Amino acid sequence: MKIGFIGTGIMGRPMALNLIKAGHELLTWGRRFDTVEPLLVAGAMGKGTPAEVAASAEICFTVVSGTSDVEQVILGERGLVHGVKPGSVIVDMSTIAPSATRRIAAQLEVRGVDMLDAPVSGGQAGATQGTLSIMAGGKTEVFERVKPLFEIMGKNIVHVGDHGAGQVVKACNQIVVSLTLQGVAEAILLARKNGVDPTKMREALLDGYAGSKILEVHGLRMMNADYKPGFKVKLHHKDLGIVLDNASENHVPLPGTAIVAQQIEALMEAGDAELDSAAIMLALERLAG
């Protein structure tokens, strides 16, 4: 299949490479050559604009950063919308606001183009190994059409509802991830302050009810002070903004998430935007002196 792919960062690059490995023909565009180059080396064809990518592809994927980036790449001056053929599909796998994804889907529908919001969870490792969790929103028949491609990139693939539902589920995912990150950091701090080896604490907790992927992966990063991204603090900041804005629109109090958002805000202000979000440990260490 001829597939368009835009957004070749920490997540997008390995996802795109898996599609190439599975035998698909990839067309790509990027605003910087060095991010696109690894795909070209792997056999993808470079195009001059997103519109040119869309003109040659049956299905286009976007894995960029935030809401305004997705709007720019899809609806902007040289965006996918200016090349896309009626009957084709645009699948946005970035994490953006549910309301924005519904708006974009409505604008594409007018032109006879279908959209899915299909954000992911599972990090760089999941993207590389093709084991991402994919939460998709949109029409059932469009989901079924794209599913074989999702199966190359992910393992747990769930059609969660209509347009925007994928982004709502991703917001739910970020609530659980954020609060768990905070909990793991607090546990490590308390163990240390008591003179108890946090490595032993983590080992003891892993198989009980306190066990989680976050304790396993991010707990280790926190103990090693290894904050190479991964999932950048600035993206976590973006995601918590999406969660809290949506909660406010829907009159839902989220006190736990709001506290973690303040920790992430502190990291942003301290100049730690490019670190992995396990650096929430740093914010807590600073609070504890």
The reply to whether 63 sits near ligand NAP by the rule CB under 6 A is yes
Tokens representing 158 are: 């769930």
The reply to whether 31 sits near ligand NAP by the rule CB under 6 A is yes
Does 170 participate in catalysis according to the annotation? yes
- CB of residue 204 vs ligand NAP: minimum separation in angstroms? 27
Give the range of 7-15, 101-109, 160-168, 217-225 binding ligand NAP by CB under 6 A.
7-15
Report helix angle 280-287 to 255-269, nearest 10.
Answer: 90
Taking CB under 6 A as the criterion, the residue among 2, 10, 49, 128 binding ligand NAP is 10
The reply to whether 67 sits near ligand NAP by the rule CB under 6 A is no
Contact (CB, 8 A) for 81 and 111: yes
The reply to whether 128 sits near ligand NAP by the rule CB under 6 A is no
The reply to whether 217 sits near ligand NAP by the rule CB under 6 A is no
Taking CB under 6 A as the criterion, the residue among 25, 35, 139, 266 binding ligand NAP is 35
Q: Burial letters for 7-29: b for 16+ Cβ neighbours within 10 Å, e otherwise?
A: bbbbbbbbbbbbbbeeebebbbb
Element (H, E) at 268: helix 255-269
Which single residue is written with the structure tokens 């970020």?
174
- CB of residue 22 vs ligand NAP: minimum separation in angstroms? 20
Distance, CA of 169 to chain centre:
12
Give the range of 18-26, 63-71, 104-112, 212-220 binding ligand NAP by CB under 6 A.
63-71
The reply to whether 231 sits near ligand NAP by the rule CB under 6 A is yes
Spatial distance between the Cα atoms of 23 and 47, rounded to a whole number of angstroms: 19
- Type of residue numbered 54: A
3-state secondary structure of 208: coil
Binding mask 235-274 for ligand NAP (x = CB under 6 A): x---x-----------------------------------
Tokens representing 25 are: 């023909």
Residues 76-115 that bind ligand NAP (CB under 6 A): 94-95
Report helix angle 213-223 to 165-193, nearest 10.
Answer: 50
Q: State how beta strands 154-161 and 25-29 pair.
A: unpaired
The reply to whether 5 sits near ligand NAP by the rule CB under 6 A is no
Contact (CB, 8 A) for 67 and 99: no
2, 21, 85, 170: the active-site residue: 170
Positions that interact with ligand NAP (CB under 6 A): 7-12, 30-32, 35, 63-65, 69, 72-73, 94-95, 120-121, 123-124, 230-231, 235, 239
Q: Which residues are catalytic?
A: 170
